[in-house]
Structure 1
Amino acid sequence: MLRSMYAGISGMKNFQTKLDVIGNNIANVNTSGFKKGRTTFQDMMSQTVAGAQGPTENRGGVNPSQVGLGSQLGTIDNVHTQGFRQTTNNPLDFAIEGDGMFVVASGNIPNDIFADGADDVAIHYTRAGNFYLDEDGYIVNPQGLYLVGFQANDTNDDITNNHGRIQLPEGFKSFSVQTNGTISYIDETGEPKVAGQVALALFSNAPGLEKAGSNLFLDSNNAGRYNTLQRPETDAGAGAIVSNSLEMSNVDLAEEFTEMITAQRGFQANTRIITTSDEILQELVNLKR
């Protein structure tokens, strides 16, 4: 009966963690680019009371007899499904229709951002596409990190393979963003120019990214990042850029409230296991009076 008490304690701890994850999901239901979490459980080791026996000439086989010792936390996954798109009519709000992620960085961005010697550049990834123009005309995120893209050549009419910050020069009249991420503008003389092209990072295992807060993700040893940045619409899987809109959270409130009820009842059931085991121990104590 003491085993049942420890099993109940393990269940309570796990459901408490599940409720923590659900609470974080609900708190971020309106957070741009947020990816919800999901908790899974695993059973702990089992104590073998009797081992399995194989069949003989005179009788059949016998299955093992084991008593489980509770549950343990299996995983806390990041679910990278597409969030719904909200129209904002802000040309610097970008949404991605696909699996790619925006790349934002601080410091001097080298021509090849993933090359050796580029370790001093702080690189983050995000699905939140609310960008702004700073005082110098660079496209930045709310934390001031530069949006990384492919650079235009010296004549501003073609895109190179070099990486860098995307800048709209002083005195430009208007700009537009195409679905392939190309940012064009009209300069002060009325001539059309190209500022650059938004670059996207692609991961074979996006749930392997680590959340860093502020809608940012960090690369990890299990994310499977592609060695090169991708061009929207051109490279398969990267996706297309949709201007004037934002990708919102992929949290489904109906699902979260259902999971919350399940976690609450599971927590209550495990507390009942502990109180029932305690009552049985009390009966044993009271056998001798």
Structure 2
Amino acid sequence: MLRSMYSGISGMKVNQTKLDVVGNNIANVGTTAFKGQRTRFQDVLSQNAGRAMAPSLNLGGVNPRQVGLGVQLAGIDTLVTQGMMQPTGRNLDLAVDGEGYFMVARGEKAFGGEITVVNNTIGNSNGRDIMFTRDGSFGTDHEGNLVTADGYRVLGYSVGGSIEGNGNLKYVDADSKTLQADNGLKTLKIPEKINDGGKDVRIISFSIDKTGLIKGVCEGGKITVLGQVAMSSFRNPAGLEKMGGNLYRNSSNSGEPVVKTGIGATNDNSKGYGDMLQGMLEMSNVDLAEQFTDMIVTTRAFQASGKMISSGDEILQDIINLKR
């Protein structure tokens, strides 16, 4: 059999994979905070038809004579560049202007600090399934818990004991100069009422500043802290594993998540995560012009690989006809 036919087959396979990736990118051009992917190829091991020879007394050197055996998939990379910001005006929409990721969890509600953070890494999640996302289109359930579209609870810090062990919130003066986040990640809530010195006070409205601090306006005009949205980052964010639903899971090559410290921390590391922008969402980073260009090139490469197989078939047919 001709080696060119098998090279053509390998070319069709990898270009089909690239078309799959391009198609997925185009399909998700409107997906919130979607990160596009690219496909890379590499050549297969070449077969030696002649070895290289060094120069001798009477002859000069000879280069190696090699025949390539086709192409193979080198990798599918996630492009973690930031997408454009889209204003929504919705107070539960958050966008990250930087490299941070929101932290969400599935499992029993954590109000007592059961999800521990040790040296800026997650110590013990107590069986909770923690994932990461750039999609900040959050909502609330009937208990006031801050959740994603799929019901994952958004994690954050209690500030000054604002979130009590039973999940209730108490008044914490937002104008205090000594605000400090408590240890451990907790489920964030935006309640209807908080406890102010034994008296229930209604929350009229709330806002989220660029540090993730959630401030509620109480009836009477006082401002309280309801918590702080947590973020994390990775040494290699391209190594995160996509889980669907705009969610990611850390892998062996992404590294463990480095959790952003809360307000008032002594070992503050919050400068490398970016700002949270309320009332905005991050758009997909897919460039349609680039994707359609890649689609044209990949389609032609697929057709050319198929033509190589057809040409090899014609050569084989001519060889068979020599006996007639």
Pair in the same fold by TM > 0.5:
yes
Cα displacement string for residues 39-81 of structure 1 (whole angstroms, at most 9, x for unaligned residues): 0011111111111111223222111111010000110111100
Task: Tell me which amino acid in the other structure corresponds to 1:61.
Answer: G
Are residues 1:283 and 2:318 paired? yes
Cα displacement string for residues 249-269 of structure 1 (whole angstroms, at most 9, x for unaligned residues): 000000000000010000011
CA 1:2–1:142 in structure 2 vs 1: closer, same or farther (change >3 Å)? same
Task: Tell me which amino acid in the other structure corresponds to 2:306.
Answer: T
- Provide the residue aligned with 2:240 in structure 1: 209
Q: What is the deviation of 1:9?
A: 0.2
Are residues 1:69 and 2:69 paired? yes
Q: What is the deviation of 1:104?
A: 0.5
CA 1:7–1:219 in structure 2 vs 1: closer, same or farther (change >3 Å)? same
Instruction: Work out the CA distance in 1 between the residues paired with 2:293 and 2:256.
Output: 34
- Provide the residue aligned with 2:160 in structure 1: 153
Instruction: Work out the CA distance in 1 between the residues paired with 2:303 and 2:56.
Output: 46
Instruction: Work out the CA distance in 2 between the residues paired with 1:283 and 1:230.
Output: 73
Aligned residues of 1:150 and 1:159 also touching (Cα < 8 A): no
Aligned residues of 1:202 and 1:230 also touching (Cα < 8 A): no
Q: Match of 2:224, SS?
A: strand
Aligned residues of 2:188 and 2:227 also touching (Cα < 8 A): yes
Aligned residues of 2:206 and 2:215 also touching (Cα < 8 A): yes
Instruction: Work out the CA distance in 2 between the residues paired with 1:31 and 1:86.
Output: 12
Q: What is the deviation of 1:234?
A: 5.8
- Provide the residue aligned with 2:116 in structure 1: 112
Q: What is the deviation of 1:86?
A: 0.3
Task: Tell me which amino acid in the other structure corresponds to 1:112.
Answer: T
- Provide the residue aligned with 1:186 in structure 2: 217
Aligned residues of 1:36 and 1:251 also touching (Cα < 8 A): yes
Which region of structure 1 is more displaced relative to structure 2, 226-235 or 111-120? Answer: 226-235
Are residues 1:22 and 2:43 paired? no
Q: What is the deviation of 1:237?
A: 2.0
Q: What is the deviation of 1:145?
A: 0.8
Q: How does 1:1-289 map to 2 (within 5 A)?
A: 2-107=2-107, 108-109=109-110, 110-112=114-116, 115-154=122-161, 155-157=171-173, 158-162=179-183, 163-170=185-192, 171-230=202-261, 235-289=270-324
CA 1:194–1:272 in structure 2 vs 1: closer, same or farther (change >3 Å)? same
Aligned residues of 2:260 and 2:270 also touching (Cα < 8 A): no
Aligned residues of 1:29 and 1:251 also touching (Cα < 8 A): yes
Q: Match of 1:279, SS?
A: helix
Instruction: Work out the CA distance in 2 between the residues paired with 1:100 and 1:5.
Output: 47
Task: Tell me which amino acid in the other structure corresponds to 1:139.
Answer: L
Aligned residues of 1:182 and 1:196 also touching (Cα < 8 A): yes
Which region of structure 1 is more displaced relative to structure 2, 268-277 or 156-165? Answer: 156-165
Instruction: Give me the TM-score of the superposition, normalised by structure 1.
Output: 0.95
Q: Match of 1:10, SS?
A: helix
Cα displacement string for residues 130-157 of structure 1 (whole angstroms, at most 9, x for unaligned residues): 0012111111110111111111223524
Which region of structure 1 is more displaced relative to structure 2, 173-182 or 219-228? Answer: 219-228
CA 1:225–1:75 in structure 2 vs 1: closer, same or farther (change >3 Å)? same
Aligned residues of 1:159 and 1:196 also touching (Cα < 8 A): no
Q: What is the deviation of 1:115?
A: 4.6
Which region of structure 1 is more displaced relative to structure 2, 48-57 or 96-105? Answer: 48-57
Instruction: Work out the CA distance in 2 between the residues paired with 1:52 and 1:231.
Output: 62
Task: Tell me which amino acid in the other structure corresponds to 2:40.
Answer: T
Instruction: Work out the CA distance in 2 between the residues paired with 1:141 and 1:15.
Output: 36
Instruction: Give me the TM-score of the superposition, normalised by structure 2.
Output: 0.85
Q: What is the deviation of 1:231?
A: 5.2
Q: Match of 1:211, SS?
A: strand
Unaligned runs of 5+ in 1: none
Task: Tell me which amino acid in the other structure corresponds to 2:235.
Answer: S
Unaligned runs of 5+ in 2: 162-170, 174-178, 193-201
Cα displacement string for residues 199-240 of structure 1 (whole angstroms, at most 9, x for unaligned residues): 111011001000000000011011023443345996232000
Root mean square deviation, CA, Å: 1.7
Q: Would you say how many aligned residue pairs link Structure 1 and Structure 2?
A: 289
Instruction: Work out the CA distance in 2 between the residues paired with 1:57 and 1:257.
Output: 57
